[in-house]
């Protein structure tokens, strides 16, 4: 008896035949320690806590857990804490930076910097206790620059979106 698939039935990844050449496996999620090995940001400017999905050169999903201990809440705003919009956009850019820098072999000698922010819209305040899901999709990918569409969700509702352009520069 053979293990041939039935016509019109998709095979699961575990039963498909693979080519003879081994493929180099890339991670599909990253812990905070692994993120810190990729991004140069540190407290208080590291704004992503975990990466839960990665599709190389296409898409990344990261998580930011917002706590009352965030430094920016001291002044933004007393008695009505709201995460600054610029930091939400920065968190999306950091997620995109992690996606880009996972593809760069000499990333220890590179930085990713903003070159543009377009169509930023802030739809819902982000406050202490929120868990922000950052979804970033690549629009244009070049070896030294990337343009991405970022979206931030809280409880499944869109809180922020922006088109972000970044360039890779030498440190």
CATH of residue 96: 3.10.129.10
Q: Which residues are catalytic?
A: 76
Question: In which band, very low, low, confident or very high, does the pLDDT at 13 lie, cut at 50, 70 and 90?
Answer: very low
**Residue range 107-119, pLDDT digits in tens:** 888 889 999 999 9
Tell me whether residue 26 is in a domain.
no
> Which range marks the domain in which residue 165 is found?
32-170
**pLDDT tens digits along 36-92:** 999 999 999 999 999 999 999 999 999 999 999 999 999 999 899 999 999 999 999
- Phi/psi for 81 (5° steps) reads -70, 125
Partners of 61 in beta bridges: 53, 135
In a domain, 13, yes or no: no
Domain contains 23: no
Residue 122 in tokens? 């802030």
Q: Which of 104-108, 117-121, 140-144 has the highest mean pLDDT?
A: 117-121
Q: What is the maximal distance between C-alpha atoms in the chain?
A: 72
Spell out the residues 6+ positions from residue 92 whose beta carbon is closer than 8 angstroms to its own: 134, 136, 148, 150, 151, 152, 160, 162, 164
3-state DSSP assignment of residue 1: coil
């Amino acid at each position: 008896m053979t293990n041939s698939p039935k016509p019109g039935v998709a095979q699961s990844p575990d039963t498909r035949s693979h080519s003879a050449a081994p493929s180099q496996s890339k991670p599909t999620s990253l812990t905070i320690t692994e993120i810190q090995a990729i991004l140069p940001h540190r407290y208080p400017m590291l704004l992503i806590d975990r990466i839960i999905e990665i599709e190389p050169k296409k898409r990344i999903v990261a998580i930011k857990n917002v706590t009352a201990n965030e430094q920016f809440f001291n002044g933004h705003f007393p008695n009505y804490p709201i995460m600054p919009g610029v930091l939400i956009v920065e968190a999306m850019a950091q997620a995109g930076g992690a996606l880009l820098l996972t593809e760069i072999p000499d990333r220890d000698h590179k930085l990713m910097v903003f070159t543009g922010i377009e169509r930023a819209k802030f739809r819902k305040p982000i406050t202490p206790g929120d868990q922000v899901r950052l979804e970033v999709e690549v629009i244009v990918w070049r070896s030294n620059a990337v343009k991405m569409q970022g979206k931030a969700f809280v409880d499944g509702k869109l809180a922020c979106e922006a088109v972000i352009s970044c360039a890779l520069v030498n440190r």
